[in-house]
Structure 1
């Protein structure tokens, strides 16, 4: 080797240099190739799967029940308003009292007086017969002759018949008086009519005009009346859980949709699409009259069409990507995820650019 080096020094030097370079390339390749592959993987553009923003609807807080009471002339003349503005009432409490005028009351009162007079006379006859009986019996006891006793006894029997007749008159007069009094009471009841509250609530006095009732009873419990356009109608379902937030963001409560109108409101110049009413029952009360926003969580997931290759996506798990089968359907320029992905997953946005590694 030494002789060869002495004879061909340049060849030996060049061979050593080339050998060193080759070894260096091999070593560097072994060290850098995994990093290059890893770097290449990490440089793919990722798409974060996430739920869409909430569907938001406008609404107003109203009383759960509100009953209007207008003056009813058929009940008679309004004689008394039994409640005041802001008063809390229970179902069945008297709100209004009406009175009817009648000429029959005086005749009923006369019948009572007549019956009472007859009763007094009959009672006097009873007392008179009892007194007479007592005198006759004393006279009978003092009589000595048989004929005299027989005559007194005949008088006692005759007086006894008068006493029985007086007793019957008392009974008849008492019955006539009681009937007359009952008739008068019934007549008076018919002269008075009351209107009672149908529900619990607070009394709100009106102006008793064509546009305003005499009074209303408004419940303390509230609900939300919301509106949705025809474009969002299918996004709502009865029993959907929603959150209701005041426009000043000071309070937020949960609730549940209890009703969705199957028919739209009458069209107005302000809206170009049909509007439908729906109701939300609140878990906590809100102030009647507040304007609110109704948030319905939107859990629908969308991904780019380019993220799917052969029915699969490449999901990042740690430092690697895994193939995951997904079920989707087209939704405009995107794909709606039916199954296979969850909110928070990260996938390669351009699946075609990913090179599968063994």
Structure 2
């Protein structure tokens, strides 16, 4: 018994020390476990940066600003003054025609003119004769009807002169129809299709070029007249920055039944591009876009200094994304997979940012 009391007395201090060490170890374990849980909570959130929508890309072709199939004057083609692919200036003669029927009408009109001119001469003589008779009757005092005769003769002369004017105008008009020349309406390049006898097809393409493409009804709201657009030729790699000059409000005739498309044009320089080339066009978008999973109950969690903060956002869902109208700015970091455990002040690791 004495030995047992002695042993307990000798080992009491050791036992207490051991107990204290155990308590400390357990406490440290609990603290580490809490830290690990917090770290796990923080690391399970995915953080991404708010970014602008990717540029809208379109495929199109280069075309002439103006393209016109010219109407030939009436008559038979006498000569074609240009070759296929020739450069022309406004006013240059292209085709000359001759109309046999117009020439026959002109011959008849000239005869009518000559007849009208002879009638004028005759009426002038009548006026002179009436005036002489009136003068003679005035001398012998018998001029009762002389004034009326002169007036009638002068009226007939005026009618005859009007007939001459009308006949002359007809001759002038028909003279222009006998031989006619088609001229270039603007500067450009002409193509000549002379496969049809006596009926060549003349088409003129202006020197000024344009991008011609289409945009779907789903992307229509992303474009507007005057907006900057970047164009690159696929074959040559040449590029240009220009602006949208035309955005149609009426869909193209070949629009599909499940989606309308609208023509889009932009001016291009003939120094860098060639008619008919295939080009890619891109239009930068200022719209902010975030994953739609990041929006819960009209808000997102912005991460700043390692902590989450709820921020209200407005906008609309488009496919897998949410296009932001207000609430966040480009470059801010947000949690893309918020859950019920995420609150203001929650620590969020920025590892794995997009």
Q: Work out whether the TM-score is over 0.5.
A: yes
Say if 2:307 and 2:344, in contact at 8 Å, map to a contact too.
no
Equivalent positions of 1:40-189 (< 5 A) are 40-73=41-74, 76-99=75-98, 102=103
Match of 1:200 in 2: 187
Match of 2:342 in 1: 354
SS at match of 1:351: coil
**Is 1:325 paired with 2:326?**
no
C-alpha separation in 2, matches of 1:82 and 1:10: 126
Match of 1:280 in 2: 265
CA shift, 1:320, in A, is: 0.9
C-alpha separation in 2, matches of 1:240 and 1:5: 98
C-alpha separation in 2, matches of 1:80 and 1:12: 128
CA shift, 1:25, in A, is: 6.0
Task: Return the TM-score normalized by structure 2.
Answer: 0.61
SS at match of 2:51: coil
SS at match of 2:12: helix
Residues 127-154 of structure 1 deviation map (CA, whole Å, 9 limit, x = unaligned):
xxxxxxxxxxxxxxxxxxxxxxxxxxxx
In structure 2, the CA distance between the partners of 1:47 and 1:24, relative to structure 1 (3 Å rule), is same
Structure 2 gaps, min length 5: 115-171, 347-354
SS at match of 2:11: helix
C-alpha separation in 1, matches of 2:306 and 2:88: 69
SS at match of 2:61: strand
Say if 2:72 and 2:182, in contact at 8 Å, map to a contact too.
no
C-alpha separation in 2, matches of 1:335 and 1:188: 71
**Aligned-CA RMSD value:** 4.3
C-alpha separation in 2, matches of 1:245 and 1:324: 43
Structure 1 gaps, min length 5: 112-185
C-alpha separation in 1, matches of 2:243 and 2:70: 31
C-alpha separation in 2, matches of 1:88 and 1:312: 63
In structure 2, the CA distance between the partners of 1:296 and 1:267, relative to structure 1 (3 Å rule), is same
CA shift, 1:40, in A, is: 4.2
C-alpha separation in 2, matches of 1:83 and 1:288: 20
C-alpha separation in 1, matches of 2:206 and 2:9: 112
C-alpha separation in 2, matches of 1:343 and 1:37: 29
CA shift, 1:56, in A, is: 3.5
SS at match of 2:237: coil
C-alpha separation in 2, matches of 1:5 and 1:314: 66
Say if 2:307 and 2:345, in contact at 8 Å, map to a contact too.
no
Match of 2:206 in 1: 219
Say if 1:225 and 1:278, in contact at 8 Å, map to a contact too.
yes
